[in-house]
Amino acid sequence: MPEITGIAFLEKLTDPPLTIFTTAYRNYAFEGFELGVIDFLLKPISFPRFTIAMEKVQDFISLRKQNTHLEPGTPAPEFIFVKSGVNRIKLYFNEITHVQGLKDYAIIYTASGKIVIKGSVKMVQEMFPLLLFIRVHKSFLVASKVIKRIERNQIIISNYHIPIGRNYREDVEKKIGM
């Protein structure tokens, strides 16, 4: 792009589209994933790798169609199917304690274990009911019902100490009634 970089362009958009970065430079991958891009293709792009990227977009669109954002007063759905590896797993919202983002993966923690999926915390947040989950940090989403104890800038859930980000503190306090 002659006038502006793809990263700068994407940062300026208020409602960015689904994006796949294509470049000859590896060092842009991290910045791209921080902006929520679906995939990153390094040039020269092979057809099999392109196909994988397109499958990720199709999976994301499929998950988006299950959009569970609800208006107040609308009953929340009980579950969602998530793709973990080659499996589709039925995930009940009432069993989820929190979600942790690690680059382009998200770990969904439940009372019985954890599920790793491809995607960002932002993507997971868009799939989950707004009324049941709170974004507490750039890398964490927490089920409202499990918040029983906050110490300084951390939410304590069993053995997990989840940080509350500076930019999220006010929203957390408002949503849990502090």
Any idea what the CATH number is for the domain that residue 166 is in?
Answer: 2.40.50.1020
55, 97: one domain: no
Task: Give pLDDT, residue 85.
Answer: 78
Say if 1 falls within a structural domain. Answer: no
Is 71 inside any structural domain?
Answer: no
Based on the structure, what is the number of domains in the chain? Answer: 2
Q: Does residue 162 share a domain with residue 105?
A: yes
Based on the domain organization, do 124 and 95 belong to the same domain?
yes
Asked if residue 112 belongs to a domain, the reply is yes
Question: In a 3-state reduction of DSSP, which class is residue 163?
Answer: strand
- Asked whether residue 117 falls in the same domain as residue 44, the answer is no
Q: Which domain covers residue 30, as residue numbers?
A: 6-65
Residues 56 and 18 in one domain: yes
113 and 52 housed in the same domain: no
Residues 126 and 45 in one domain: no
Residue 161, domain member (yes or no): yes
**Position 146 in a domain:** yes
3-state DSSP call for residue 12?
helix
What pLDDT is stored for residue 76 in this prediction?
A: 56
Q: Residue 166 is encoded by which pair of tokens?
A: 């500076």
Residue 21 maps to a domain: yes
Same structural domain, 92 and 21? no
Q: Are 43 and 121 found together in one domain?
A: no
Long-range contacts formed by 157-164: CB under 8 A, 24+ apart: 157/97, 157/98, 158/97, 160/97, 160/98, 160/109, 162/98, 162/136, 162/137, 163/136, 163/137, 164/136, 164/137
**What does the pLDDT read at residue 75?**
55
What is the block-wise mean pLDDT of the chain (178 residues), using blocks of 10 residues?
Answer: 82 82 78 74 91 81 54 62 83 92 87 87 85 90 90 87 89 79
Residue 130 CB contacts under 8 Å (≥ 6 apart), including other chains: 69, 70
pLDDT for res 47: 94
Instruction: Give a yes or no: residue 100 inside a domain.
Output: yes
Task: Looking at the structure, tell me whether residues 170 and 135 fall in a common domain.
Answer: yes
Same domain, 169 and 91: yes
Q: Does residue 119 sit within a domain?
A: yes
Q: Say if residue 89 is in the same domain as residue 153.
A: yes
Structure tokens at 84: 């973990």
